[in-house]
């Protein structure tokens, strides 16, 4: 593989390798998700260890054959990293895990990269965390080929009506139902038509103003994400549930 120089990227995950090295899971703008070997970067004399930070835009250079090329250099991009703390930091860990599980290696997703970059900075405002995560989940699925249907009844093909209720089936879409059906555990979630229409219009400010619509959207995306994860567990969700951590409202 020819050398890659100063590629804009984020580190999604790091894991130790032997005594002083580490393997970086990286999401780059032009090369997609890949793994890099960072030799000696855990050692006391490493000159780059301080730059290998999650959630910080970086300029990475690498070279090597096979599935694990060597990191050659790392610089901080000329962009101030997002200021994340408490719930926003755990939420950023959550979207990193989604990218790790839902993106295939070496598939280029420039749109996903820009969407991820925007979401990290949007998470700085803790009041908007929940709606920004829902926005990220929906757009991510759309960009990787799993767009959700919001504006038509999946059975009849008729436009969604604001006053009606719809049960959402992950692999099919919304189907009109009687109000209250499907609220039991494990069933397809029920949403009001006005919630679906707002989603179809990407009118997230409207949804954010309604506690009921936010709850409907959360139930929907919890099932949708669980389906696409295929039973895999997210460590960030476990951290949300630890004593002293923020309540599990944002993932």
Distance between CA atoms of 159 and 68, rounded to whole angstroms?
A: 49
- CA 111 and chain centroid, separation: 13
Q: Tokens representing 48? A: 């780059």
Q: Is the pLDDT assigned to residue 182 strictly greater than 80?
A: no
Strand partners, 61: 73
Confidence of residue 2 (pLDDT cuts 50, 70, 90): confident
Whether the CA torsion 247, 249, 250, 251 is positive or negative: it is positive
**Non-local CB neighbours of 11 within 8 Å, separated by 6+ positions:** 24, 25, 26, 52, 53, 54, 56, 58
Domains and CATH numbers, the chain: 4-76 (2.40.50.140), 87-251 (1.20.1440.120)
Distance between CA atoms of 71 and 56, rounded to whole angstroms?
A: 17
Please report where in the chains the tokens 């604001």 appear, as a residue.
Answer: 162
Whether the CA torsion 97, 34, 13, 23 is positive or negative: it is positive
Share of the chain above pLDDT 70, in %: 92
**Non-local CB neighbours of 150 within 8 Å, separated by 6+ positions:** 160, 174, 196, 197, 199, 200
- Residue range 38-78, pLDDT digits in tens: 999 998 889 899 999 999 999 999 999 889 999 999 999 98
- Calculate mean pLDDT across residues 170-197: 84
Tell whether pTM > 0.85: yes
């Amino acid at each position: 593989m020819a050398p890659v120089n100063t590629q804009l990227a984020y580190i999604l995950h790091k894991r130790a390798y032997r005594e002083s090295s580490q393997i970086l899971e990286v999401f780059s703008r032009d090369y997609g998700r890949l793994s890099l070997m960072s030799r000696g970067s855990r050692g006391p004399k490493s000159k780059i260890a301080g730059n290998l930070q999650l959630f910080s835009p970086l300029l990475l250079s690498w070279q090597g054959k096979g599935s694990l090329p060597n990191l050659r250099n790392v610089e901080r991009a000329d962009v101030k990293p997002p200021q994340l703390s408490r719930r926003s930091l755990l939420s950023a860990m959550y979207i990193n895990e989604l990218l790790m599980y839902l993106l295939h290696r070496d598939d280029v997703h420039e749109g996903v990269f820009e969407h991820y970059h925007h979401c990290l900075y949007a998470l700085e405002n803790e009041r908007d965390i929940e709606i920004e995560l829902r926005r990220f989940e929906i757009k991510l699925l759309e960009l990787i080929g799993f767009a959700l249907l919001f504006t038509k009844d999946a059975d009849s093909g008729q436009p969604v009506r604001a006053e009606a209720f719809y049960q959402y089936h992950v692999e099919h879409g919304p189907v009109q139902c009687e109000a209250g059906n499907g609220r039991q555990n494990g069933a397809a979630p029920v949403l009001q038509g006005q919630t679906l229409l707002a989603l179809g219009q990407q009118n997230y400010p409207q949804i954010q103003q309604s506690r009921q619509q936010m709850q409907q959207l959360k139930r929907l995306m919890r099932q949708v994400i669980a389906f696409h994860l295929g039973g895999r567990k997210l460590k960030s969700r476990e951290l949300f549930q630890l004593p002293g951590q923020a309540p599990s409202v944002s993932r």
